Amino acid sequence: MPDDAKTTTDFIEQLRESTDEELRDRRAQITESLQNLRFRTASGQIDDPNRIRKYRKAIARINTILRERELGLSRAR
């Protein structure tokens, strides 16, 4: 996980407890980290290529939670 969460469930729980602004900030940070990770992968400096997949999934989870809140499917914080 891009965070200090040990499991996916913990990570999702952290996301759901965050405000919309915090989620947008976190998404921006993860997106920037993903970009840096892609550059490092291209130059062969990365030891765990699965991190790219984890970062992409984290971004998708954040987008899902933001969209749920936008549609009123989840209570906004």
What is the model's pTM? Answer: 0.83
Give start and end residues of each alpha helix (H) in 1-77.
8-17, 20-42, 50-71
pLDDT per residue as tens digits for the range 28-70: 999 999 999 999 988 888 778 889 999 999 999 999 999 999 9
Element spanning 17, H or E = helix 8-17
Do residues 16 and 65 lie in contact, with contact meaning Cβ atoms separated by under 8 Å?
yes
Domain boundaries, the chain: 8-71
In which band, very low, low, confident or very high, does the pLDDT at 5 lie, cut at 50, 70 and 90?
A: confident
What does CATH list as the number for 8-71?
1.10.287.310
* pLDDT at residue number 16: 93
